[in-house]
Structure 1
């Protein structure tokens, strides 16, 4: 079930990343045209940057799910099969550890329980926590920055799911005949 959920989530992430890539291209072309006409739309740069950040995190999650990250495998390739399995297991465990750590840090950053406790009153939340995440705004778009930063907790949950599936598959790979494809 987790494997199916992970595969489905990866498809959604790739589709969303493709839409963002198209949007980035359109925004940059729009910016070029409006600057050439002498009436630049400055918000297009900022929106393209935010879209690019979201696209990068979505695709990174899929790349790590597929175990296709850039790596120097010279040492690992020289190891015997058993040691390569242990290294793969260690890498999968580190990816999962990073996802959990990032989620915990995002939870502490966003503080949703305290936001709930203050009745979603941003001023009361800020006075209670001295955390101004919900009041900071982007320079040209004027939208709250936390919407853009939501890519981090979403990435951590997605990466956690993919990392858990990969770790489970690696553990099953320790016993012959039980390896599942991710």
Structure 2
């Protein structure tokens, strides 16, 4: 069950990452064209950077599902298969702990409970807890930065889901490692 949810979520993450990769390419081409004709659109750079950050985090989360994350395997390749599987499970456990820590940090950073306690009034929230996450706009786009930073939640939740599925041996990558 959790393996199927992880697989669906990973496909969504990859589709979004692919769409963002295409948009980055289009934004950079737009930037080249507008600069060459002397009518630069300054917000394009910022949007491309944010799209790249989102693409990276979504792709990294999906890589955990598919087992395509970067690894140095010089030590694990020399281990016997039983120790190799134990090491893989230990790595999955470390990734799970990291993802859970990210969820906790996001909770602390975004403070959704405190925001709700203040009736979603960002000024009252800021005055009470001195957290200005909801007040800072992006430089050229003018949108609230917390929308850009929401990718941290997406990554943390996706990484948690994929690492739990890996630990339970329900992801395709986990079953491929056993063969």
TM-score (norm. length: structure 2): 0.94
Q: For the Cα contact (< 8 Å) 1:102–1:156, is it kept in 2? A: yes
Distance 1:76 1:16 in 2: 33
1:181 is displaced (CA, Å) by 6.0
- 1:111-147: CA deviation from partner (whole Å, max 9, x where unpaired): 0001001011011000111000000011101111000
Matched, 1:144 2:164: no
Paired position in structure 2 for 1:110:
110
Shift of 1:7: 0.4
Distance 2:134 2:61 in 1: 26
Kept in 2: contact 1:169–1:181 (CA 8 A): no
Look up the match of 2:48: 48
Aligned to 1:14: 14
Structure 2 match to 1:168 = 168
List gaps (5 residues or longer) in structure 1: 171-178
SS in 1 for 2:168: helix
1:58 alignment counterpart: 58
d(CA) in 2 for partners of 1:139, 1:105: 25
Aligned residues: 174
- Root-mean-square deviation over aligned CA pairs: 1.4
CA shift for structure 1 position 58: 0.4
Higher relative contact order, chain-length normalized (CA < 8 Å, sep 6+): 2
* CA contact 1:46–1:141 (8 Å) conserved in 2: yes
For residues 42 and 181 of structure 1, the distance between their equivalents in structure 2, rounded to whole angstroms, comes to: 46
Q: State whether structure 2 residue 129 is matched by structure 1 residue 129.
A: yes
- CA distance in 2 between counterparts of 1:37 and 1:12 reads 37
For residues 88 and 63 of structure 1, the distance between their equivalents in structure 2, rounded to whole angstroms, comes to 15
- List structure 1 segments (4+ residues) > 4 angstroms apart after TM superposition: 179-182
Aligned-partner SS, 1:133: coil
> In the alignment, what sits opposite 1:68?
68
Distance in 1 (alpha carbons) for counterparts of 2:73 and 2:27: 38
Q: In the alignment, what sits opposite 1:85?
A: 85
Range that drifts further, 71-80 or 146-155: 71-80
SS of the residue corresponding to residue 74 of structure 1 reads coil
| Structure 1 SS opposite 2:162 | helix
Per mean C-alpha deviation after superposition, the further-off stretch among 161-170 and 44-53 is: 161-170
Counterpart of 2:5? Answer: 5
